[in-house]
Amino acid sequence: MSITLSKAAIFEAQAEKATSWRNRLLALPALVIIGIFGVLPLLIICVYSFLQAAPYGGVQWKFSTDAYLNFLFQRDIFDDTLQFTPDFLIIYLRSFLFAVVTTVICLLLGFPTAYFMATRPPAQRNWWVLLITIPFWSNLLVRTLAIMFIIRDEGLINNALMGLGLIEKPITMLYTNFAIQLGLLYSFLPFMILPLYSSLEKLDFRLVEAANDLYATRRQVLWRVIIPLSLPGIIAGCLLVFIPALGAYVTPLILGGGIHLMIGDLIAQQFGSGRNWPLGCAQALILMAAVLVALYFYVRNTSGKIQHG
Amino acid sequence: MADPRTIDIKDQPGFRSIAILCLCVLYVPILILMIFSFNTGSLVTHWEGVGFGWYGSALLNEEFHRAAQNTLIISTSATIISTIVATLAAIGMTRVKPWRGLPAAFMVINLPLVVPEIITAVATLSFFALIAGAFGLNFGIGNLILAHTVFCIPFAYMPIRARLEDMDLTLEAAAADLYATPWHAFRRITLPLLVPGIMSGAALAFIVSFDDFTITQLVAGPGQTTLPLYIWNQIRRPMTPEINAISTILLLVSILFVSVSFLIARRRAK
Amino acid sequence: MTIKPEQNLPPRAGFLNGVVVPEQPGKNAIEVRGVRKVFGTGEAQVAALDTVSVAIRENEFFTLLGPSGCGKTTLLRLIAGFDFPSEGEILLYGEDIAPLPPFKRPVNTVFQSYALFPHMTVAQNIGFGLEMLGKPKAEIQARVARMLKLVKMEALAGRRTSQISGGQQQRVALARALAPQPKVLLLDEPLSALDYKLRKEMQIELKRLQHETGITFIFVTHDQEEALTMSDRIAVMSSGKILQVGAPRDIYDRPAERFVADFIGETNFLKGTVVSKKSGVASVKLASDATVAAGFPEGFDPSGAVTVVVRPEHADLVADAAKGTVAGILANVVYFGTDTHYHVKLDGGDNFIVRHQNSRSGAVAFAPGAKVGIVFEDDGARILRD
């Protein structure tokens, strides 16, 4: 090989090396901030979950697996045996059920809405997107409060029904499972619509014409063409609803009134009145594990899709 | 059967009704909440007349002032810090030759979006408790600013990254061709074209910080009440339409910033 | 090492004055020596340029012509400095510029997409390069004004680039690249985004600008007609190699290879066998048993089975089949307005097209199905490398 190879090729290699280091340096501040104040705390609660609770909150630096044992068992005060206590497990299962129902109903309402939005003319479409985006970013606490005002005993629904003489005593809706379910649906509906919309917006609607041309009816086009093509958006939307619904905190706090707990307020309780930080950490990690399982299926699903086509 | 000439073949029967239903479901509760903020009566659900009295009493409230002040300090600081570091990170991570560790860096940046808020909240609480206990470190309101900055970064990052990806690479090549050094090309071409993305990212970062309740509630120390915390404290007392007035103010701030971010993002580089 | 524009330059009296600097023979503006460019590593490695050498003369309108993927844009990017050669040298007036980043090369580019800065006005775009070179404000203003005049855009100086038409954007891109008075101007398919009429107009405009500025133009295109009409010389490229360099007429009339003949213009290909040869002309026996005399390029020694090429307009029809060099049955007549194409099925089985210029009077009337003869012009048939 000739000597002429060197100059330009070496220059290029040097320039590349320099920019690669510069780029790393640029990303560093963000990575350091999230690393110290986002990742490190997660590691700390991993450690905390294996420590003993201090009597007035906080932890004692003694190794213990009590937190995980306490999740399923309770130590009998008299004979020190472990007794199976499913209280926490029930809260987890109930939260899971709430999250699943929320996801399914949001999908049933969100898909037609997103499809309708995606088939509007562009100018109208922008308005729809803005109208769905506003609740997406609006204060969750305030939106939950709005639901509370409507379903309270002296709220709008009961007032209206009594005013019409349909009922004599208000129907109790607040602080019930129904209230939590309604609140979750209301909170997370925009989280389903927007990802579905962004996947349907990219759909080539000439395919619908082609399917129609080949004798498919409207419903057949929907099931055989549109839904399979928007599957990545459907999965993304389901995940964006399921994960925050599973870990919901504000909704059960306000609409469940501390009577019907979900995982979120259970965890918060251990750091407040429960004064059992290790237990709270263990509960948080178990929730995190559930989220990671959901994410794992998402990643496996989407990467499989990419290989397909 | 409708006249086939008037139907778009893309339309699916019933979808329009569901879409309108969803819109109503999303807006009716908010609108009712807002309407009752103008109630002159002292009951949250009985309508007595139209007036701005509750806005007046909210705005004169000393506690509200403190909460608003705290919120502004925290949100503004978190927005400025997160937007700056997110901009730098986006420039170093978008449209560049992949460097080793880039996929891991993406994961770290997006981590706050994946972890449920309540977990972040208790983890941050544990972290600050630990450094307070072990090193006697307490940054006061700085604790909240740092906690907010963490989850603001990915929100600021997204629109900046999108803007960078949309940008025509040949513009920078053209600048270099016209004797601009890499720094000048960045300063005169890349940065000005990136400004809308940065503004949009800053608006989103401000909203999520301004609205945050869960993390703030667990991490906040005494005297660090923010507006969402103030509302929460009000709910637990006998309620008056003052809470509707404050809620309405919060919603309007969100709507303003969403609309700004939305309009900036929609205006593509021409 | 930095070469600043306007240093080491030959006297450029002609610049903007309409006076053409006489060509100094033997002086090369750009010399590409043994340049290779490979993309990727290991097994996925692709050679976009495979040991290319070419010299481009000062003040020349030089065109790199070839199909997409032939390496013409890669070569242009190497000269501009957006990519660096894996091997070889690129000399600008004798100095190796291959290791220089683009902002240190006195070479400017007109991009295919124009790449006008959307946040600047027309005038700011044109002045950008001068500003980066640190020229005084007054000088920049004066030069921008001259450039605007040169491309006839004075009226739109204050407009945003998004507010002007495609043709106007094209002019701004040209003015912007010419403003710093580069030693060489690179043009990457600059006319491809324009519609037919505007393209024709800009072809003439480009020639005028090159003439007035006296700057060496290196023009990349896949449009053979554009290359033939505008260039002083053309380099035909394929699969990362330069196949032939020459004046348009040379390339068209005496293509060096089958690819060149096929890519530029229309050509008839006839199979045959070399019977005898002497001093650049060979006798070839075709499939129909007819024998034709065919020239061949220097340094090529045809023998055995070969392909003979004949341009459709270098042949003519005769009614008497016996008088033709070859003969066949007229299969189809296609009318094109300016000319008519006669599709002939030759006796040996090959297809042959004859192009005849139409005129009002001498309409040649041949009916499909007729037996016809075809005569070749002198030097009309050539043997080419495959």
**E-only strand ranges, chain C:** 28-39, 46-57, 61-65, 87-92, 95-96, 107-110, 184-188, 216-221, 233-238, 241-246, 268-278, 281-286, 291-295, 305-310, 315-318, 326-335, 339-346, 351-357, 371-376, 381-384
CATH number for the domain whose boundaries are C269-384: 2.40.50.140
Q: List the helix and strand counts (H, then E) for chain B.
A: 12, 0
Question: In 3D, which of C252, C243, C310 has the Cα closest to residue C66?
Answer: C243
CB of B189 within 8 Å of any CB in chain C? yes
Q: Is B188 close to C115, i.e. CB distance below 8 A?
A: no
Residue C235 DSSP code: E
Which partners does chain C have (≥3 C-beta pairs < 8 Å)? A, B
Which residues in chain B have Cβ-Cβ distances shorter than 8 Å to A39? 108, 111
B191 to chain C, minimum CA–CA distance in Å? 11
Report DSSP letters for C168-232, one per residue: HHHHHHHHHHHTT--SEEEEESTTTTS-HHHHHHHHHHHHHHHHHH--EEEEEES-HHHHHHH-S
- Mean pLDDT over B159-175 rounds to 91
Q: Is C133 close to B179, i.e. CB distance below 8 A?
A: yes
- Mean pLDDT over C153-164 rounds to 92
CB of B11 within 8 Å of any CB in chain C? no
- Mean pLDDT over C325-335 rounds to 90
Separation between Cα atoms, residue C371 and residue C345, nearest integer Å: 10
C92 to chain A, minimum CA–CA distance in Å? 14
**For A273-288, what is each residue's pLDDT tens digit?**
888 999 999 999 999 9
Cα C42 to chain centroid, rounded: 33
Question: In 3D, which of C310, C311, C356 has the Cα closest to residue C333?
Answer: C356
Report strand pairing: A82-84 vs C28-39: unpaired
Dihedral angle sign, alpha carbons of residues A165, A166, A169, A173: negative
pLDDT at C25 over 80: no
Q: Is B149 close to A37, i.e. CB distance below 8 A?
A: yes
CB of A16 within 8 Å of any CB in chain C? no
Residue A226 DSSP code: I
- Residue scoring higher pLDDT (C198 or A287): A287
* Cβ atoms C316, C276 nearer than 8 A: no
Which residues in chain A have Cβ-Cβ distances shorter than 8 Å to C82? none
Q: Is C88 close to A1, i.e. CB distance below 8 A?
A: no
What are phi and psi for residue A85, nearest 5 degrees? -125, 105
C339-346: strand order across its sheet: C315-318, C371-376, C326-335, C339-346, C351-357
Torsion over CA of C346, C347, C350 and C354, rounded to 10 degrees? Answer: -10
Helix, strand, coil % in chain B, rounded to nearest 5: 75, 0, 25
Q: Is A48 close to B126, i.e. CB distance below 8 A?
A: yes
CB of A4 within 8 Å of any CB in chain C? yes
**E-only strand ranges, chain A:** 51-53, 59-63, 73-75, 82-84
CB of C336 within 8 Å of any CB in chain B? no
- Mean pLDDT over C277-293 rounds to 85
**For A61-106, what is each residue's pLDDT tens digit?**
889 888 898 888 887 777 778 888 888 999 999 999 999 999 999 9
* Cβ atoms C23, C216 nearer than 8 A: no
Q: Is A11 close to C99, i.e. CB distance below 8 A?
A: yes
Strand partners, A222: none
pLDDT at C10 over 60: no
- Mean pLDDT lowest among A78-82, C236-240, C257-261, C279-283: A78-82
* Cβ atoms B213, B228 nearer than 8 A: yes
Q: Is C119 close to B193, i.e. CB distance below 8 A?
A: yes
Which residues in chain C have Cβ-Cβ distances shorter than 8 Å to A9? 84-87
Which residues in chain A have Cβ-Cβ distances shorter than 8 Å to B149? 33, 37
Report strand pairing: C95-96 vs C87-92: antiparallel
**For A8-48, what is each residue's pLDDT tens digit?**
777 777 777 888 888 999 999 999 999 999 999 999 999 99
A79 to chain B, minimum CA–CA distance in Å? 33
CB of B191 within 8 Å of any CB in chain C? no
What are phi and psi for residue C107, nearest 5 degrees? -135, 130
Q: Which residues contact C172 (CB under 8 A, 6 or more apart)?
A: C114, C116, C122, C125, C126, C151, C153, C161, C164
A11 to chain C, minimum CA–CA distance in Å? 6
SS3 C81: coil
Q: Is A1 close to C87, i.e. CB distance below 8 A?
A: yes
Which residues in chain B have Cβ-Cβ distances shorter than 8 Å to C118? 171, 193, 269-270
Rounded (5°) CA angle A17-A20-A25: 125
Cα separations (Å) of B154 from A33, B79, B82, B151, B263? 12, 11, 8, 6, 20
- Closest-CA residue of A relative to B211 is A139
Separation between Cα atoms, residue B150 and residue B215, nearest integer Å: 11
Q: Is A44 close to B126, i.e. CB distance below 8 A?
A: yes
B and C: number of Cβ contacts within 8 A: 67
Extents of the domains making up chain B = 54-266
**Residue A47's pLDDT is what?**
94
**For A234-251, what is each residue's pLDDT tens digit?**
999 999 999 999 999 999
Q: pLDDT class for C16, splitting at 50, 70, 90?
A: very low
- Closest-CA residue of B relative to C176 is B178
Cα C279 to chain centroid, rounded: 31
**Residue C364's pLDDT is what?**
62
Strand partners, B39: B50
* Cβ atoms C30, C92 nearer than 8 A: yes
Nearest to A4 among C34, C84, C101 (CB): C34
SS3 B91: helix
ipTM of the predicted assembly exceeds 0.95: no
Separation between Cα atoms, residue C268 and residue C273, nearest integer Å: 16
**For C62-79, what is each residue's pLDDT tens digit?**
999 999 989 999 999 999
Give A50's Cβ-side CA count (13 Å radius). Answer: 5
Question: In 3D, which of B156, B131, B147, B134 has the Cα closest to residue B213?
Answer: B147
Rounded to the nearest 10 degrees, what angle do helices C122-132 and C137-150 cross at?
130
pLDDT at C22 over 50: no
**For B115-143, what is each residue's pLDDT tens digit?**
999 999 999 999 999 999 888 888 889 99
CB of C109 within 8 Å of any CB in chain B? yes
Q: Is C84 close to A4, i.e. CB distance below 8 A?
A: no
- Closest-CA residue of B relative to C164 is B270
Separation between Cα atoms, residue B88 and residue B86, nearest integer Å: 5
Nearest to A7 among C33, C34, C98 (CB): C98
Tell me: domain C28-106+182-253, CATH 3.40.50.300, correct? Answer: yes
Which partners does chain A have (≥3 C-beta pairs < 8 Å)? B, C
- Mean pLDDT over C126-152 rounds to 94
Nearest to A7 among C34, C99, C101 (CB): C99
- Mean pLDDT over A133-148 rounds to 93
Q: Is A26 close to B105, i.e. CB distance below 8 A?
A: no
Question: Please, what CATH class does the domain formed by B54-266 belong to?
Answer: mainly alpha
| Structural domains for chain A | 45-85+277-289 (no CATH), 87-275 (1.10.3720.10)
Domain with CATH 2.40.50.140 in chain C: 269-384
- Closest-CA residue of B relative to A220 is B12
Name residue, tokens 């600021």.
B156
Q: Which residues contact B87 (CB under 8 A, 6 or more apart)?
A: B156, B160, B194, B198, B201
- Closest-CA residue of A relative to C89 is A4
**Number of Cβ within a 10 Å radius of residue A157:** 14
B263 to chain C, minimum CA–CA distance in Å? 18
pLDDT at C90 over 80: yes
Separation between Cα atoms, residue A305 and residue B192, nearest integer Å: 38
Most B CBs within 10 Å: which of C103, C135, C218, as the mutation test of the B interface?
A: C103
Separation between Cα atoms, residue B107 and residue B100, nearest integer Å: 13
Name residue, tokens 């097994």.
C43
- Mean pLDDT lowest among A227-231, C43-47, C54-58: C43-47
Rounded to the nearest 10 degrees, what angle do helices A140-151 and B15-35 cross at?
90
B184 to chain C, minimum CA–CA distance in Å? 8
Rounded (5°) CA angle A133-A136-A137: 95
* Cβ atoms C59, C119 nearer than 8 A: no
Which partners does chain B have (≥3 C-beta pairs < 8 Å)? A, C
Q: What is the CA radius of gyration of chain A?
A: 26
Q: Is A4 close to C33, i.e. CB distance below 8 A?
A: yes
**For A149-204, what is each residue's pLDDT tens digit?**
899 888 888 888 888 888 888 888 889 999 999 999 999 999 999 999 999 998 88
B95 to chain A, minimum CA–CA distance in Å? 11
**For B228-259, what is each residue's pLDDT tens digit?**
999 999 888 877 888 889 999 999 999 999 99
Helices marked H in C81-136: 122-132
Q: Is A9 close to C88, i.e. CB distance below 8 A?
A: no
Q: Is C117 close to B171, i.e. CB distance below 8 A?
A: yes
Instruction: Specify the amino acid at residue A282.
Output: A
Chain C, residues 71-90, CB within 8 A of chain A, namely 84-89
Question: In 3D, which of C359, C346, C358 has the Cα closest to residue C310?
Answer: C346
Nearest to C82 among B173, B189, B193 (CB): B173
Residues in chain B: 270
Q: Is B27 close to A138, i.e. CB distance below 8 A?
A: no
- Closest-CA residue of A relative to B260 is A130
- Residue scoring higher pLDDT (B4 or C163): C163
- Closest-CA residue of C relative to B185 is C132
